[in-house]
């Protein structure tokens, strides 16, 4: 199992030691590690799905909502999509060392602003096991060590996914300790949130309860995401066929995720032409509509 048997403090300290080497790792080594992760995801798909089935069974017994069950669920297509996303990250330019701006002083001294890794990033997340790979891959590409803390509802899925990433990364030259997964209990969260001077940033991916729990105890900087209220706006100049396709995709493609559309705004100049077909299509897809009087 990939969940570390050491304490949270020891795991974070190991990540801190690895961070310096990881931050200086050549782009080719990082990309090779990411490619190895993508390959291993495909090869170990049956193992990943077996672990996910255990989490889904536990979720059903616990009475998780349909939306949470959908976020938790993996299938071969979703694992393949995760692997493709890792390869998309391989194709991105290496941000480490990028010169953002620079100038020369009158005395001839060159001053440059460079992108550098933060060091150790902790990512705290809830039901979506794909975040295990998403976060690990992005941190590896950007030269940051990562400590993952997933939800207890995805224990088995996260453990296997983390093992895939860690084992594949190490085989391609990633420093030992650069990726780790800690347990999902509240005590572990508090320990992680108070690793001041070791963990450089915490990024939570979850609901208001998770954010409140971090706010209550964190001594480490935390980057909070705003609550989702995603809008689609159809302007007077828009292609109405494209707007309809985008609206449907944004709402019904995967409605349980936090970036699914929740609000549709339409310019009054095209409202009469667009809204009837849009509302019919959304209703046919099973979307509950709450409209104002004009709509």
Q: Is 231 exposed, middle or buried (0-12, 13-18, 19+ CB in 10 A)?
A: exposed
What tokens were used for 189?
């969260």
Tokens for 35, please give them: 């490619």
Residue 179's DSSP bridge partners are: 146
Secondary structure class of 240 (helix, strand, coil): helix
Residue 110: what are its φ and ψ, rounded to 5°? Answer: -85, 130
Which residue has 């096991």 as its token pair?
Answer: 129
Whole-number Å distance between alpha carbons of 286 and 284 = 5
pLDDT of amino acid 258: 75
Mean pLDDT across the chain: 93
Of 11-15, 51-55, 166-170, 290-294, minimum mean pLDDT range: 290-294
d(CA 11, CA 6): 6
Q: Does position 5 have pLDDT exceeding 60, yes or no?
A: no
253, with CB counted inside 10 A (0-12, 13-18, 19+), is: exposed
Is residue 256 within 8 Å of residue 70, measured between CB atoms?
yes
- Residues 3-32 have a mean pLDDT of 91
pLDDT at 196 over 90: yes
pLDDT in tens, 148-192: 999 889 999 999 999 999 999 999 999 999 999 998 778 888 999
Confidence of residue 259 (pLDDT cuts 50, 70, 90): confident
What angle, 0 to 180 degrees and rounded to 10, lies between the N-to-C axes of helices 27-43 and 76-91? 170
SS3 114: strand
Which residues does 71 contact at the CB level (< 8 Å), separation at least 6?
126, 127, 128, 256, 257
Q: What does pTM read for this prediction? A: 0.82
Residue pLDDT, tens place only, 127-154: 899 999 999 999 999 999 999 999 889 9
> Among residues 170, 157, 89, which one has the least CA distance to residue 128?
157
Stated as kind and residue range, the H or E segment containing 205 is: strand 201-205
Q: Tokens 């998309």 — which residue?
A: 88
- pLDDT at residue 294, rounded to an integer: 76
Distance from C-alpha of 145 to C-alpha of 195, rounded to nearest angstrom? 14
Residue ranges and CATH numbers for the domains of the chain are 8-217 (3.40.605.10), 230-284 (3.40.309.10)
């Amino acid at each position: 199992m990939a969940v570390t048997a050491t304490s949270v403090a020891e795991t974070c300290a190991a990540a801190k030691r690895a961070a310096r080497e990881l931050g200086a790792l050549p782009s080719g080594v990082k990309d090779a590690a990411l490619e190895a992760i993508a390959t291993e995801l495909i090869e170990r798909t049956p193992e990943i799905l077996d672990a996910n089935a255990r989490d889904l069974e536990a979720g059903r017994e616990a009475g998780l909502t349909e939306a949470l069950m959908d976020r938790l669920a993996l299938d071969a297509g979703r694992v393949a999509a995760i692997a493709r996303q890792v390869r998309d990250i391989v194709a991105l330019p290496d941000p480490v060392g990028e010169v953002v701006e620079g100038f020369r002083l009158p005395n001839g001294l060159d001053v440059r602003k460079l992108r550098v890794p933060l060091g150790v990033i902790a990512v705290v997340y809830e039901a979506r096991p794909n975040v295990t790979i998403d976060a690990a891959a992005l941190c590896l590409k950007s030269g940051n060590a990562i400590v993952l803390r997933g939800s207890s509802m995805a224990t088995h899925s996260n453990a296997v996914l983390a093992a895939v990433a860690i084992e594949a990364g190490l085989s391609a030259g990633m420093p030992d300790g650069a990726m780790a997964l800690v347990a999902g209990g509240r005590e572990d969260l508090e320990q992680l949130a108070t690793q001041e001077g070791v963990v450089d940033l915490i990024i939570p991916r979850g609901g208001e309860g998770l954010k409140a729990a971090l706010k209550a105890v964190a001594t480490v900087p935390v980057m909070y995401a705003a609550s989702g209220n995603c809008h689609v706006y159809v302007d007077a100049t828009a292609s109405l066929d494209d707007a309809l396709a985008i609206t449907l995709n944004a709402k019904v493609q995967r409605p349980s995720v936090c970036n699914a559309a929740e609000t549709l705004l339409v310019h009054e100049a095209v409202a009469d032409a667009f809204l009837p077909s849009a509302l019919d299509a959304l209703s046919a897809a099973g979307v509950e509509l709450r409209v104002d009087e004009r709509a």
